[in-house]
């Protein structure tokens, strides 16, 4: 499985299928990839309707005839535009095809349509957790009760609008992912995080969780 970070909270996960999460691409100031350079995807997961997460989801879905999976109200907006969409809600699971499961987690944030969520994508025997724009919440503890192993977790670290480094340390200790990828930082000055703080996160979580810091456009395989 290959995971590519496009900056902010946008990720492409490539395995049996290609799954794009929160594709904030064309207006993303730290993304060095064009929408046209993103390979054809099968599914697009959208955590909430803020522009820095919904981003180019509708455009890419039309281009690729991809299925958008998101919270119910956003799926209705997509359907109004003739886009294939499946709605769901917190605590529910969708199996869009054999071998792929998508579980929706609660996130504490704001939105205009339907609220905020995270996703746990199960594909090719791996569990990938994208938390969305959440603050620290005890709801994150439920993840460990439902999933024995989280192979990769994407956590926001930029503070102000989401968790910051101190909160992420607590959440990571609850969930104990094998790999943690910081996201939602350094897109704008207001959510900048220093290299020293990121190194502090790596050092504090070592022997529990590997912290993998990706530059926009960078990929790795698990």
Q: How buried is 77 (Cβ within 10 angstroms: 0-12 exposed, 13-18 middle, 19+ buried)?
A: middle
pLDDT of residue 154: 98
What is the fold, at CATH topology level, of the domain defined by 2-214?
Answer: Metallo-beta-lactamase; Chain A (3.60.15)
Tens of pLDDT along the chain (222 residues) come to: 999 999 999 999 999 999 999 999 999 999 999 999 999 999 999 999 999 999 999 999 999 999 999 999 999 999 999 999 999 999 999 999 999 999 999 999 999 999 999 999 999 999 999 999 999 999 999 999 999 999 999 999 999 999 999 999 999 999 999 999 999 999 999 999 999 999 999 999 999 999 999 999 999 999
CA-based radius of gyration for the chain: 16
| Residue boundaries of the structural domains of the chain | 2-214
Stated pTM of the model: 0.97
Q: What angle do CA 9, 123, 60 make, to 5 degrees?
A: 45
**Residue linked to tokens 């994508």:** 121
């Amino acid at each position: 499985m290959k995971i590519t970070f496009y900056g902010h909270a946008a990720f492409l996960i490539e395995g049996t299928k290609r799954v794009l999460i929160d594709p904030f691409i064309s207006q993303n100031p730290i993304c060095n990839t064009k929408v046209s350079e993103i390979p054809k995807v099968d599914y697009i997961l959208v955590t909430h309707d803020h522009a820095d997460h919904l981003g180019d989801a509708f455009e890419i879905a039309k281009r690729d005839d991809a299925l958008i999976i998101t919270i119910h109200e956003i799926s209705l907006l997509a359907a109004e535009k003739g886009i294939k969409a499946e709605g769901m809600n917190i605590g529910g699971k969708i199996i869009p095809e054999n071998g792929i499961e998508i579980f929706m987690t609660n996130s504490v944030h704001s939105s205009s349509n339907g609220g905020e969520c995270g996703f746990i994508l199960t594909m090719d025997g791996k569990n990938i957790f994208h938390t969305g724009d959440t603050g620290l919440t005890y709801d994150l503890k439920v993840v460990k009760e439902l999933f024995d192993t989280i192979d990769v977790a994407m956590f926001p670290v930029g503070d102000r609008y989401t968790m910051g480094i101190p909160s992420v340390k607590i959440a990571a200790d609850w969930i104990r992912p094998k790999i943690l990828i910081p996201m939602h930082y350094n897109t704008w000055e207001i959510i900048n995080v220093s290299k020293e703080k990121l190194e502090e996160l790596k050092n504090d979580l070592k022997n529990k969780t590997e912290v993998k810091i990706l530059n926009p456009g960078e990929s790795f395989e698990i």
